[in-house]
């Protein structure tokens, strides 16, 4: 079964809108795990507009499943990850001013840099994952960095699926097969939701984990947080 890791950035966004500590992100992580989430994801950005660096430290003692920290490996981020030592670090090449992640790594151009970063995290027994698209040459280059996994950037699939084009899954299937053949584990995330998750997960071979935040929290406004987690777990079976 594909694991569900819930990204709690949007809970932090809601908290920050009022300047207090409600909703509390630590309690949300505790509850999500009790509801069945198999991982908690956070993506701290330099401006701390949602998850703050202090949140990551506060969350560590309550994570009983898997802790996944996403972000651009700038020095401050690398230092945070090495101190926390999460289950997994997902490297995302997001610009400082990006509203949300909008591109995967060019693993050819950034080959040397990624090798160094991956090696440092692996020396500290932290599983590494590289956020990327479906270009097969770039997936081959990702394998040369020594990364444990890649996370497929699924926005294009989600857009195609919404527009009724199920052929949009094909590049992701090919990418998954390539990653599997190269010995890398496979994660996926971005714009996956209750409408498309079952189709996506059923077509992708050996999909280990999906990370879902924005859609899941938005859907929880209608169905409730506990119900939504249960609905995702049912669709991922």
Q: Does residue 142 surpass a pLDDT of 80?
A: yes
Which of the following is catalytic: 50, 66, 151, 190? 190
**72-101 in b/e burial notation, b at 16+ Cβ within 10 A?**
bbeeebbebbeebebbbbbbbbbeeeeeeb
Say whether 214 is catalytic.
no
Q: From the centroid of its chain, how far is CA 51?
A: 14
Q: What is the DSSP letter of 231?
A: H
Tell me the residue range of the domain where 207 lies: 3-236
Q: What is the pLDDT of residue 103?
A: 77
Dist CA 182 CA 154 (whole Å): 20
Q: What is the pLDDT of residue 102?
A: 61
Say whether 70 is catalytic.
yes
Q: What is the pLDDT of residue 94?
A: 81
Q: 63-121: per-residue pLDDT in tens?
A: 999 999 999 999 999 999 999 999 999 999 986 555 455 679 999 999 999 999 999 99
Q: 162-203: per-residue pLDDT in tens?
A: 999 999 999 999 999 999 999 999 999 999 999 999 999 999
Total-model pTM: 0.95
Contacts of 30 (CB under 8 A, 6+ apart): 62
Q: 219-237: per-residue pLDDT in tens?
A: 999 999 999 999 999 999 9
Q: 122-137: per-residue pLDDT in tens?
A: 999 999 999 999 999 9
Q: What is the pLDDT of residue 98?
A: 54
Q: What is the pLDDT of residue 93?
A: 94
Contacts of 170 (CB under 8 A, 6+ apart): none
Dist CA 209 CA 201 (whole Å): 9
Q: Tell me the CATH number at 168.
A: 3.20.20.70
Structural domains of the chain, count: 1
Q: 46-61: per-residue pLDDT in tens?
A: 999 999 999 999 999 9
Which of the following is catalytic: 50, 66, 70, 151? 70
Which of the following is catalytic: 43, 66, 209, 219? 43
Q: Does residue 2 surpass a pLDDT of 80?
A: yes
Mean pLDDT, rounded, of the chain = 96
Q: What is the DSSP letter of 51?
A: S
What is the rounded average pLDDT of the residues 1-16? 97
Dist CA 233 CA 79 (whole Å): 33
């Amino acid at each position: 079964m594909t694991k569900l890791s819930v990204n709690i950035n949007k809970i932090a966004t809601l908290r920050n809108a009022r300047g207090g500590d409600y909703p509390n992100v630590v309690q949300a992580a505790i509850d999500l795990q009790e509801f069945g989430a198999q991982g908690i994801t956070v993506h701290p950005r330099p401006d701390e507009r949602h998850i703050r660096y202090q949140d990551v430290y506060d969350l560590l003692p309550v994570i009983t499943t898997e802790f996944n920290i996403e972000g651009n490996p700038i020095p401050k981020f690398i230092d945070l990850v090495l101190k926390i030592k999460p289950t997994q670090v997902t490297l995302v090449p997001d610009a400082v001013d990006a509203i949300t992640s909008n591109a995967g790594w060019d693993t050819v151009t950034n080959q040397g840099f990624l090798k160094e970063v991956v090696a440092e995290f692996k020396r500290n027994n932290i599983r590494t994952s590289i956020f990327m698209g479906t270009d097969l040459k770039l997936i081959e280059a990702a394998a040369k960095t020594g990364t444990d996994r890649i996370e497929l950037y699924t926005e294009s699939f989600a857009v195609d699926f919404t527009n009724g084009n199920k052929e949009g899954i094909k590049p992701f299937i090919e990418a998954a097969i390539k990653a599997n053949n190269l010995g890398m584990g496979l994660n996926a995330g971005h714009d996956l939701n209750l409408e498309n998750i079952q189709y996506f997960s059923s077509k992708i071979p050996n999909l280990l984990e999906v990370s879902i935040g924005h859609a899941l929290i938005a859907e929880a406004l209608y169905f409730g947080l506990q119900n939504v987690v249960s609905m995702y777990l049912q669709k991922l079976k």
